[in-house]
Amino acid sequence: MANGGVIVTGPGVITVPALGKSFKLTESREDDVFDSVTQASGSVSAGTSLELFRDLGNKFLQHTNLKTPRRINAESEMALTRIGVHVAQAIGNTMVSDDDIIKILHTGTLTFKINDRLVTEGPLMKYQAGVGAAGQTNRTDTGVVTNGVASQAAAPNLLVPQPISDKDDLNGTVDFKNATWISGYTAPSLDGTNVISCLLHGIIKAPLGR
């Protein structure tokens, strides 16, 4: 049987065609490699570009799990099956405006490359991550907004899983471009600081003990 580009080839053994390898289940896990960037409050000028996977200083596990800029962990391999974008609904004790989340998802774009090879590009709203707090609230002047349905099953997979090794560079940018073709267009203005995370989901093969 196949699941997200993975084929079960025997008891406790799976094959990942994207990696061209078979290995024991104890050597692998289905998980995410992720990083986050921030956009300050106020008007977001056209041409603003936020670099993902590059700057890891002072970040902890809620914002990145990379140890080396642009690289997955040493001696690891990954079959990338899905790319998701999530705009944080809260930052510490600060609740994020649902207006901000919607503005970012509809004005920002993602470009993701492995080394110099383009994997995907498009508006942020295209990259459902299947995560987030969902439901309803009766609090005044607030709402609950996620990028698509907060369900892993609803998040679309890549047609062909993409192999990533510990020697490959992860290159991702969140860009805010102009839209002057729309009459009366103005750049988005954000109520507060926002955190935008990119989640690379897939099968990760790591050395035993990690």
> pLDDT by residue (tens digit) across 60-70?
999 999 999 99
| 5 band by pLDDT with thresholds 50, 70 and 90 | low
- The DSSP bridge pattern shows strands 77-87 and 194-205 to be antiparallel
Say which residues have a Cβ less than 8 Å from residue 120's Cβ, sequence separation at least 6: 83, 110, 111, 112, 127, 158
Name which residue leads in pLDDT, 160 or 190. 190
Q: Which one-letter DSSP state was computed for residue 109?
A: E
CATH architecture of the region 31-203: Sandwich (2.60)
Residue 101 confidence (pLDDT) above 80: yes
Distance CA(183)–CA(146), nearest Å, equals 28
Question: To 5 degrees, how large is the angle CA 34–CA 127–CA 133?
Answer: 75
In percent, how much of the chain has pLDDT > 90? 75
Residue 2 confidence (pLDDT) above 50: no
- Which amino acid would we find at residue 140? T
Residue-wise pLDDT for 19-43, tens only, equals 677 767 777 888 999 999 999 999 9
3-state per-residue secondary structure call for 7-55: EEEECCEEEECCCCEEEEHHHEEEEEEEEEEEECCEECCCCEEEEECCC
Which candidate, 162, 147, 151, places its Cα nearest to that of 196? 147
| φ/ψ of residue 65, rounded to 5 | -125, 15
Domain ranges of the chain: 31-203
| φ/ψ of residue 168, rounded to 5 | -85, 145
Residue 1 confidence (pLDDT) above 50: no
Name which residue leads in pLDDT, 158 or 16. 158
N-term to C-term CA, the chain: 27
pTM across the whole model? 0.90
Largest CA distance in the chain: 61
